[in-house]
C-alpha cells in the first residue's frame, strides 16, 4: 500500500469520523535496524521517511489537536544518535509548508 495509500486510507477514515483527532506515534513501528532503542524492536518496520510522509499532512490538518511520540528508550541510546534522528523526524512532521 505504501505511504501514499496509508495516508489516503487514513484521510478517508478521518473524514468519515468528522471530529478532532490526536496523533500518537510509537517509535517501535520503525524498523529495528533504524531505531533499536525501543521496548519492542522488530523487523520489518516502517521507514522514517514514510512515517514523515504519512504524519506530516495529518499533523498540519486543522482537525489535528496534538501529537505525542512514545516508546523511545534513552537507556538503549547512550550516544543520543537515535534521539537526534527522532527529533529530526518530528521536525519533518510539524515543519510548516
C-alpha cell at 10: 487514513
Q: What is the pLDDT of residues 44-88, one digit of tens each?
A: 999 999 999 999 999 999 999 999 999 999 999 999 999 999 999
What are the extents of the domains in the chain? 2-94
Contact 67, 95 (CB under 8 A): no
Of 77, 67, 90, the C-alpha closest to 35 is 77
> Locate cell 489516503: which residue?
8
Distance CA 27, CA 12 (A): 24
Question: How do residues 13-24 score in pLDDT, each as one tens digit?
Answer: 999 999 999 999
Amino acid at each position: 500500500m505504501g505511504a501514499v495509500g496509508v495516508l489516503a486510507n487514513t484521510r478517508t477514515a478521518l473524514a468519515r469520523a468528522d471530529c478532532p483527532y490526536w496523533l500518537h506515534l510509537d517509535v517501535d513501528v520503525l524498523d529495528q535496524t533504524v531505531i533499536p532503542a525501543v521496548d519492542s524492536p522488530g523487523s520489518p518496520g516502517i521507514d522514517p521517511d514514510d512515517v514523515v510522509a504519512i504524519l506530516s499532512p495529518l499533523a498540519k490538518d486543522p482537525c489535528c489537536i496534538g501529537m505525542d511520540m512514545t516508546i523511545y528508550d534513552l537507556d538503549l541510546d547512550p550516544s543520543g544518535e537515535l534521539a537526534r534522528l527522532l527529533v529530526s523526524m518530528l521536525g519533518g512532521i510539524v515543519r510548516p509548508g
